[in-house]
Amino acid sequence: MAPEFCPNCGVKVPPKAKACPECGADEQTGWSGAARYDHLDLPNGDFDYDDFVKQEFGGEKPIPRGVHWLWWLVAIALAAGLLLFWWR
């Protein structure tokens, strides 16, 4: 949903527009996050960065399952290496 005015550059955005005609900001890149600021109460300018990150990135955590899997591989490789070392 496009805001009435682009929060990025302040230009009036056509109601059906998918992106700002002036600066190109759209739901993905620009105004979805910026529009949220309008509804956020920030008492005393208190800014919860962790909360902000959680809202901004949602479920997209920078630590994917692949890392976990990789660490298992490393652990197994280390264990196997130790076993081979002891075997001789």
For residues 36 and 7, is the Cβ–Cβ distance under 8 A?
A: no
Q: Is 5 or 72 the residue whose CB approaches Zn ion more closely?
A: 5
Q: Is 29 or 55 the residue whose CB approaches Zn ion more closely?
A: 29
Please state the closest distance from residue 39 (CB atom) to Zn ion, in A.
Answer: 19
Please state the closest distance from residue 72 (CB atom) to Zn ion, in A.
Answer: 46
Q: Is 37 or 71 the residue whose CB approaches Zn ion more closely?
A: 37
What Cα–Cα distance (Å) separates residue 39 from each residue in 32, 34, 63, 86?
12, 10, 29, 63
- Tell me the C-alpha distance between 39 and 7, whole Å: 13
Q: Which residue ranges make up the site for Zn ion (CB under 5 A)?
A: 6, 8-9, 11, 20, 22-23, 25
Give the residue among 28, 34, 27 at the shortest CA–CA distance from 9: 34
